[in-house]
Amino acid sequence: MVLENQLPLFILKDLFDLAKRELHANIYEGLSVSKLTCDLWKGMVIDLLIEDKLFEKHFSEAEHFVDLITLCLQPSELGNQNGKLKTIVTPTVTELHQAGVTFKEGSSSHLLNIRFKYGALEIPKLTLDDATEALLRNLQDFQGLNCESNYVNDYIAIMNYLVNSPKDAELLVQNGIIENWLSRSEDVSTLFRNLQRETNIYDYNFTYAGLNDDLKAYCKSPWHKWKATLKHNYFNTPWASISVIAAVVLLLLTFIQTVFSIIK
């Protein structure tokens, strides 16, 4: 995955074709460079949720392995979110939780397809281990130097704002969105913070501009905050819910009794 180690894929293809001519052809029956690449990377990039068919689809247009992974990660459902970023600041996971936002593991098979709808933030599952930071950093650097699109960079930026503290990371782990193989929850926020240092956010064309606006608007609503406070403080356990309901019933009965007493 290191940029300076990349070997052009056409060289691998030429070597493969040469081997087919020089050695026994039956050994290579049913094989191709794209299939061998897919088999090689299947175990190495399983954490990025890349489907096998995407390797086959983008292999012919990729220059090398890092370019191939970048093409496979291109988000497929964010066309309506891309746009001008009004302000860079995004609410953290903790702030969203306090505003009543729920968190779900994204159903999308694309890692970068983060969606917000009806008060639920869907983030595709991300597995973090010791190799994740280097993997994302090389993808980020390659795209920044060679591509017009900036979706890997923008994904790192939005995740850095969302996961700003160990508490943010713990909330996503509890909801099955992050599988943390690092030592501590603090390492998750540190990972994104380290990657964020090399990001260049272009506010005129940010991949998650629409998502950012929707999250901020939801957090500003007093109604959403009131509902979240009521749920977190008074309906967080079955016994608390029963107590609140009993108190309401008692108040209603007291009110009715008072009314009847006045009438009498």
Residue 42 in tokens:
């299947």
Nearest 10 degrees: CA dihedral of 113, 116, 122, 128? 60
In the predicted structure, residue 258 carries a pLDDT above the cut 90: no
80 DSSP 8-state letter: T
Question: Contact 124/176 with Cβ under 8 angstroms?
Answer: no
- pLDDT digit string (tens) for 47-73? 787 877 888 888 889 999 899 999 988
Region of residue 23 (left: phi > 0; alpha: psi -120 to 50; beta: else): beta
Residue 253 in tokens:
């009965």
Q: Which residues contact 237 (CB under 8 A, 6 or more apart)?
A: none
Separation between Cα atoms, residue 105 and residue 263, nearest integer Å: 57
Global model pTM greater than 0.75: yes
- % the chain with pLDDT above 70: 86
DSSP secondary structure string for all residues of 162-209: H--SHHHHHHHHHTTSEEE-SS-HHHHHHHHHHHHTT----TTSBTTH
Residue 159 in tokens:
């995740």
Residue 148: what pLDDT? 77
Question: Contact 124/150 with Cβ under 8 angstroms?
Answer: no
Please name which of 164, 138, 166 lies closest in space to residue 153, comparing C-alpha atoms: 138
Residue 264 in tokens:
């009498």
Q: Tell me how crowded residue 229 is: count the other CB atoms within 10 A of its CB.
A: 13
- pLDDT digit string (tens) for 183-241? 888 999 999 999 988 777 777 788 898 898 899 988 887 655 555 455 555 555 666 66
- Ramachandran angles phi, psi of 2, nearest 5°: -70, 130
Displacement of CA 24 from its chain's centroid (Å): 46
Residue 89 in tokens:
């600041």
Residue 237: what pLDDT? 64
